[in-house]
């Protein structure tokens, strides 16, 4: 027994199972209220029911797409702006202070003005998400484009590479590790803001669903939604790590 518990993976699984079991027993014995803490089996049942009946997919797809649109817009703008600021001193001097001023603003704080301009719409959500998610990828791109290896820069100058070719063929690949690391943070923020806009502006998706579940005291559904969001968050992080490893394989080979 001692040796079994000694193996870390098994120990971890036993611990997790023990926690869930304790929760289950506490609810079954009516020691804690199932209205606030529905038993794990009820939550699992609800989750399974959602999967089996297909009720899960529409909101899941809506949230994922919303997150993705905002993230795509943020990445595109972030890399383009980052390339400009990172590779040109003039652009840096003109733009950096403005961006420094906007950066500390909590992303959700632009929801009220965004609603004023775009109403409670999907467009509003995309813009809020893009605004919030742009910073990590932008800062990472600035760093990446500003720190292209000196030797490479000199080589490009010697080869009289056009500015476009330099940016596309040399600077962009060399900034890639930074950009991807920033993008991973951006994607996590995009998911958070997708949920926020769904709750604030009644856009369909997981965020709206868990808020509705709370209002009607359907707590197993609420917990199932939180679990789904947790799994989604985990998966997108893993996906980006995978992409990172794939795209950067040349770099690992180089070292």
| Residues near another protein, by CB under 8 A | 8, 11-16, 19, 35-36, 90, 93-98, 100-102, 104-113, 115-117, 188, 191-192, 195-196, 199-200, 206-207, 210-211, 213-214, 217, 219, 222-223, 225-226, 229-234, 237
Residue 155 or 231 with smaller CB distance to another protein: 231
Minimum distance between the CB of residue 36 and another protein, rounded to whole angstroms? 6
Minimum distance between the CB of residue 186 and another protein, rounded to whole angstroms? 14
How far is the C-alpha of 208 from the C-alpha of 218, rounded, in Å? 13
Minimum distance between the CB of residue 170 and another protein, rounded to whole angstroms? 26
Residue 216 or 254 with smaller CB distance to another protein: 216
Minimum distance between the CB of residue 238 and another protein, rounded to whole angstroms? 9
Residue 84 has a CB neighbour count (10 Å cut-off) of 18
Minimum distance between the CB of residue 112 and another protein, rounded to whole angstroms? 4
Residue 17 or 155 with smaller CB distance to another protein: 17
Residue 140 or 170 with smaller CB distance to another protein: 140
């Amino acid at each position: 027994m001692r040796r079994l518990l000694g193996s870390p993976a098994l120990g971890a699984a036993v611990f997790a199972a023990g926690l869930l079991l304790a929760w289950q027993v506490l609810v079954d014995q009516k020691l804690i209220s199932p209205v606030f803490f529905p038993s794990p089996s009820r939550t699992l049942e609800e989750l399974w029911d959602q999967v089996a009946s297909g009720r899960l997919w529409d909101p899941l797809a809506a949230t994922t797409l919303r997150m993705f649109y905002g993230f795509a817009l943020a990445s595109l703008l972030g890399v383009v702006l980052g390339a400009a600021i990172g590779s040109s001193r003039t652009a840096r001097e003109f733009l950096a202070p403005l961006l420094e001023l906007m950066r500390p603003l909590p992303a959700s704080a632009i929801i009220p003005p965004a609603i004023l301009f775009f109403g409670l719409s999907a467009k509003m959500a995309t813009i809020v998400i893009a605004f919030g998610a742009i910073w990590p990828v932008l800062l990472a791109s600035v760093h990446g484009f500003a720190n292209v290896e000196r030797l490479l820069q000199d080589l490009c100058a010697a080869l009289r590479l056009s500015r476009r070719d330099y940016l596309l063929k040399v600077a962009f690949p060399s900034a890639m590790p930074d950009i991807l690391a920033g993008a991973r943070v951006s994607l996590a923020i995009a998911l958070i803001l997708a949920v926020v806009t769904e709750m604030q502006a009644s856009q369909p998706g997981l965020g709206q669903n868990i808020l509705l579940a709370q209002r009607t005291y359907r707590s197993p559904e609420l917990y199932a939604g939180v679990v789904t969001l947790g799994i989604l968050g985990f998966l997108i992080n893993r996906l980006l790590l995978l992409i990172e490893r794939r795209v950067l394989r040349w770099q690992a080979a180089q070292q």
